[in-house]
Structure 1
Amino acid sequence: MGVIGTTVAAAPPPVPQLELGAVQKAAKIDEVPAQYVILADTSGSMQQNNRYIELRKALRQFFAALAPNDRLTLLTFDRKPRLAYDGPVGTSPDNLIKRLPGSAKGAYTDVGAAINQAVTVLAKAKPSVASVVLVTDGRHEPPSGTSFPYSSGSSWVKLRERAATLPQAFIHAYALPVGSDASGARLLGSVFRGRTTNLDPAAVGQITKRLQQPKAQAQADKLRSLLTDDMKSGVEARWPDDVKSLEAGENELVVTLHSTARYLPLVISDTSIDVDGPDVSGSTLVPTTTLEPGQDLRVPITVDWAAGPRTWAFRTPATTSYTLNLTTSLASPWSNAAKQVGLKFEPTATRATEAGMGADNLGRPWAWILGYTVLAILLFGSLYAAYRYPRLSGVLTVTAPGVPGTGLDVPLAGGGWRMALQPAVPGVGVVRVHGRRRRGRSALVVAGGAPLLPRRMLLTIPPDELRMERSVGFRWQSRPVAPTAGQTPPMPVDRPVAHGPVPTPRAEVSEQALPSANRDSDPLGTATGPDPHTPVGRATPAPEATPLRPTSRSAPNQRRPGVPPSATRPAGDDPWADLDRPVSDEPGARFD
């Protein structure tokens, strides 16, 4: 924060000026109270030529012109001073006139005692603007026993010393003689030296006109009391915190100019910004603006720091230090009015200075962060895909209902994540399988047919469960059953690279080779019927249905474990031919 106050040789542009009356109204001087002390002579001589009556009329007009907040002390004097009224002027001058005596009948004229009482009142008064008005038509003729028997002496010296220590900043005294022989009015100047105005002797009809001068002077004193401090005020520059943390490139900053004046409006013009520092420049564009007392003006400035080219490193630090110099011209539309009341305000160009620093990273950390983020996403996606779609394992068993002993065991281990079985399964088409894991449980997804066909087959097979689709059964053994003792494990099936693994057909088992108990307990309900060639539709297996497996080693066409299909089936024979064999059409064997 810096106070703009350093004068620079520059002439501010002319500003339209306001008249004194307009300035006084704008400054609301009527709200500033002033102290008036009126000393009215009530000796018998004031009755001559209707002087006292004219004085009452003049005072009424004088009171009517004062501000309601002004303070009034009304003193009458002849033999001694008397207090007629002490308080605010208010809005009824008639009430103030009623406080005066109806006529002047005093025998003496003690001017010294009256002035002494006025000094006593001012010593206790609070307003900083005060006026003393003495109206008399005679000489100083005090009674015996008074403290001021003569027109000079020690008592007058002490009274003068008391007047010099009054607390008011602006005191003016006015001596208004009524008639040519009113020398007592001039004694007021001996007390208020240098601050007394001796008005020309006034005729009876000129008292009102003469009293206009104290009122005008009091109004000027009020305005001067308001603007005295503002003649030394200016604007205060409040710099943002961003000045201490400049970044590379253009920086938009806002400087706040605060008016420290209480009453005086200021006109700001020719605002500019200069920067002292390496590779740092600044600019601003502010039109001529009137700043009201206590108001803030936001001045946008642009500070450009050419720190150097950007690099692809993660961090390339750069620092700088600089100084901002804000220059502006100040003026006021009240300058002429201030001169009329004895004040001087000369608008000047002023400057505020603020030191700043800058620090920035010329590297591109965002590129590194983005790269690591993409890498993390890819790694997470790979881990998630490996978890959600595990590699194939186990054996897929494909069977046809109603044909005991037929089926194929397709080893899936080593097939990767996805596998297409060749050749196509009759009634289903090309079968594609892939694994899936959901909520910690694994399953095998079997799809058949083209993806966009309405008759496409899609099955999700949990481990060791049978699923039927289009009269074909699918069972996935996620963990192959280990061969029993003395049993030779099956030989691996050749897997062409281009078409995936070739399914291994299971050995046929004739119905005659099955014991009657097995036929009666056939879980698929297969039994010979009168029409062995009737095709079977979509099968709905029994709850405990499982594909048939050979139960006797002497069953015809059964493939022995470890013997490849070529040993039991003629060369070139379709491995899925058994799936086309008709099934019985008995009610217990239909899969609809």
Structure 2
Amino acid sequence: MIMPYTTAPLAAPTRRRTAAAALAVTVILALALAVGAGGGTPAAAVVAAAPAAQAPAPGAPQPDPGIPPADPGVAQVDLNAVMTALRLNDVAADYVLLVDTSASMRDGALFDQVRDFLRGYVAGLTPADRFTLIRFDAVPALLYSGSAADAGSAIDQLPLVPNGGATDIGAAIREAVNELDRRDASPVSAVFLLTDGAHNPPRSSDFPDPESNDRPWQALQDHTRQRLDLARVHGHGIALRNDDQAMAGASLLKWALPATKVLALPPDQLRAYLDRAKEDSRRLTAAGLLTPDTQEQVTVSWEPRLADVDPGASHLVTQVKLTSRAKWLPVELTNVSITPSRPDVQAVGVPDRIILPPGQSVTIPVILTWQQHSAGWLRRSQVVTGELRLGATIDSPWRDVANYDFKLPLRLRFADESTVLHGSNPDGWNLWGVLRLLLLVAAVILAAILGRLWWYPRLAGILLVEWPNGQVVQVELSGRKAQISTRHRIDAPGTGSVRGRRARTDGETPRTDILVRYRPRQVSGRLPRVRFSPGQSRIVGNVTFTYPEGTHAEGWQREAGPFARFPRFLRGRRGPRDRTGGSSRTPPPSGKARRAGP
């Protein structure tokens, strides 16, 4: 029950910002003691890091004296040198010739000139090439398909006098496509269509005039795209007469090979043109060989592995192995360097230029020197660490030929060009680190203690305890905890305790609540806990606890909280209502506490 006229001041807490300021000062002082050198004192270097221009450490292996001098550029070779290096005489190409043998080829001895041209042309082919000869009029006929070395006999199989009554160009083109659709066909092929007139098929032909019915021609086009790599097959439609009908007939090859070149040539110019076309085919063959090489990698390997080196070693020689994965393309590395990620690591003996033949490897010895340093917050270690990266300009003597003749820009790149350098040796305890850890732990413990003292301040004021029989006991509170029992200051029939608890207030006057734990004598189990503010009373078990609202008996507020004995500059200024319970100089009411009415 609440006593209506009592003199009980509330506990006087320190303001929250004053406590926070003091706590912050304490933590900052502790952390200031804990701050020290981050990585410890660097150990003396076993071998001083030497730049590339200086001599390596005494006793270390000397770099290879046969390093070629630096050259600002890579010397380029011509097309003939590249063709010779590629051994194109051993690389076969497919040449398919479609020769019109219709009766119109007799006019002007046109057919005789074509036959004489073919004899000279076949003699100029390389033995590795494959030659196919197909004549066509009403129906196509395969005369020869095999090595160019034996192709001379194929010319003798042409008729002495062309007497075909029709010209089925579509069927001849289909025969050429089927001939190139072989397992052993060369990836680079050329088809030459020689005709003197338009498409004039017999009625039984599968290829009518495309202007009236182009479905068979579309089917031929689809079949060619499915069976052949059109990027590797060159088409040449040659009109042997300079008129519209001959040009229309030669243009029909585009249905199968869309990139076909169509032109009108007299028989005496065929040799020069086909020789140029043959050279174009050889270049296309060379480009096909070099295409994968221009996008290959130069792999880098480091021996021995540098992930577990001895920091105390005077030097280390690593074997850097560079391997070209190109099959044909020679590679040359210029401005070669090994760049460490740390300034205390140096690489000595790196050549400025390295030549890599196709598919081969070159190994260079590189001397690594470093300056070891101490590390470890608690356990000290002698450490060397960093990253090594090989850098260079990747070039080739064939660069210009690849760029300008084959339209193949070089896109060579490194693989595994970087590695990790690391080593560690234990070197005992870091005493300064242990001291910092202990100071930090002490600071944390001190902050926790001060925080608990701030949340549970000193008790002040009076507490009224009413027994079940109506007897009222008035107890003046002091200290941080008061025991409840018949043998302690708070005389009540039971056991428990009373503590102060700082209340959370947002923008209001700070206050301290009362936290009571009490259990009557006849009751067992856990002590129930009750919290109440000044001016309130609570019944716990069969006892009524009242915390009156008022001032202290002496009339002066006393400093409460864990910072009561701190200097004033740590506690802050006290305002006119710095303590809950009235003005800082309000005297307490006089008189004795009495029990309220029934």
Q: Provide TM-score, normalisation by structure 2.
A: 0.54
- 1:466-545 matches, within 5 Å, as none
SS in 2 for 1:239: strand
SS in 2 for 1:243: coil
Q: 1:13 to 1:164 in 2, by over 3 A?
A: farther
1:85 pairs with one of 137, 141, 144: 144
Partner of 1:129: 188
Which has the higher relative contact order, 1 or 2, with Cα contacts under 8 A spaced 6 or more apart?
Answer: 2
Asked whether the 8 Å contact 1:272–1:284 carries over to 2, the reply is no
Q: Does 1:62 align with 2:126?
A: no
Q: Does 1:176 align with 2:238?
A: yes
Partner of 1:520: none
Partner of 2:226: 165
Structure 2 segments unaligned to the other structure (5+ residues): 1-70, 375-379, 429-598
Looking at structure 2, the residues matched to 22 and 98 of structure 1 have their Cα atoms a distance apart, in angstroms, of: 37
Q: Does 1:300 align with 2:390?
A: no
2:397 pairs with one of 324, 330, 333: 333
- 1:552-571 matches, within 5 Å, as none
1:101 is displaced (CA, Å) by 2.7
Aligned amino acid, residue 318 of structure 2 = L
- 1:362-511 matches, within 5 Å, as none
Asked whether the 8 Å contact 1:329–1:349 carries over to 2, the reply is no
1:227 is displaced (CA, Å) by 0.3
Partner of 1:270: 335
Partner of 1:27: 86
Q: 1:102 to 1:294 in 2, by over 3 A?
A: same
Looking at structure 1, the residues matched to 323 and 424 of structure 2 have their Cα atoms a distance apart, in angstroms, of: 29
SS in 2 for 1:286: coil
Asked whether the 8 Å contact 2:297–2:326 carries over to 1, the reply is yes
Asked whether the 8 Å contact 2:171–2:206 carries over to 1, the reply is yes
Looking at structure 2, the residues matched to 290 and 65 of structure 1 have their Cα atoms a distance apart, in angstroms, of: 37
Q: Does 1:198 align with 2:259?
A: no
Asked whether the 8 Å contact 1:249–1:307 carries over to 2, the reply is no
1:221 pairs with one of 284, 291, 294: 284
1:246 is displaced (CA, Å) by 2.2
Looking at structure 2, the residues matched to 245 and 28 of structure 1 have their Cα atoms a distance apart, in angstroms, of: 47
Asked whether the 8 Å contact 1:278–1:320 carries over to 2, the reply is no
Aligned amino acid, residue 209 of structure 1 = A
Write out per-residue CA displacement over residues 311-368 of structure 1, whole angstroms, 9 at most, x where no aligned residue.
xxxxx963333211111111111112112344333477868111132245899xxxxx
Looking at structure 2, the residues matched to 131 and 88 of structure 1 have their Cα atoms a distance apart, in angstroms, of: 15
Q: 1:254 to 1:69 in 2, by over 3 A?
A: same
Write out per-residue CA displacement over residues 230-281 of structure 1, whole angstroms, 9 at most, x where no aligned residue.
1101311011124233232221111000001110011111111111247433
Looking at structure 1, the residues matched to 129 and 190 of structure 2 have their Cα atoms a distance apart, in angstroms, of: 11
Q: Does 1:98 align with 2:98?
A: no
Q: 1:361 to 1:306 in 2, by over 3 A?
A: farther
SS in 2 for 1:164: helix
Partner of 1:38: 97
Looking at structure 2, the residues matched to 355 and 41 of structure 1 have their Cα atoms a distance apart, in angstroms, of: 70
Write out per-residue CA displacement over residues 17-62 of structure 1, whole angstroms, 9 at most, x where no aligned residue.
2221221111112222222211011111112222112112222222
Q: 1:348 to 1:110 in 2, by over 3 A?
A: closer
1:155 pairs with one of 216, 219, 241: 216
1:224 is displaced (CA, Å) by 0.8
Q: Provide TM-score, normalisation by structure 1.
A: 0.55
Partner of 1:378: none
Looking at structure 2, the residues matched to 157 and 30 of structure 1 have their Cα atoms a distance apart, in angstroms, of: 37
Aligned amino acid, residue 307 of structure 2 = K
Structure 1 segments unaligned to the other structure (5+ residues): 1-11, 310-315, 364-592
Aligned amino acid, residue 386 of structure 2 = Y
Looking at structure 2, the residues matched to 278 and 209 of structure 1 have their Cα atoms a distance apart, in angstroms, of: 65
2:423 pairs with one of 345, 358, 377: 358
Write out per-residue CA displacement over residues 539-587 of structure 1, whole angstroms, 9 at most, x where no aligned residue.
xxxxxxxxxxxxxxxxxxxxxxxxxxxxxxxxxxxxxxxxxxxxxxxxx
Write out per-residue CA displacement over residues 44-89 of structure 1, whole angstroms, 9 at most, x where no aligned residue.
1112222112112222222223221222221100010001011121
2:386 pairs with one of 305, 322, 325: 322
Write out per-residue CA displacement over residues 171-217 of structure 1, whole angstroms, 9 at most, x where no aligned residue.
11000110123131111123311x21113x11231121221232012
Aligned amino acid, residue 142 of structure 2 = L
Partner of 2:325: 260
Looking at structure 1, the residues matched to 411 and 74 of structure 2 have their Cα atoms a distance apart, in angstroms, of: 10
Number of equivalences? 343
Q: 1:361 to 1:38 in 2, by over 3 A?
A: same
Asked whether the 8 Å contact 1:272–1:283 carries over to 2, the reply is no
1:292 is displaced (CA, Å) by 0.8
SS in 1 for 2:83: helix
Aligned amino acid, residue 245 of structure 1 = D
1:211 pairs with one of 257, 274, 290: 274
Partner of 1:344: 408
Question: Percent of counterpart pairs with the same letter?
Answer: 30
Aligned amino acid, residue 394 of structure 2 = L
Looking at structure 2, the residues matched to 306 and 188 of structure 1 have their Cα atoms a distance apart, in angstroms, of: 73
Q: Does 1:286 align with 2:345?
A: no
Looking at structure 2, the residues matched to 109 and 219 of structure 1 have their Cα atoms a distance apart, in angstroms, of: 32
Aligned amino acid, residue 283 of structure 2 = A
Q: Does 1:250 align with 2:288?
A: no
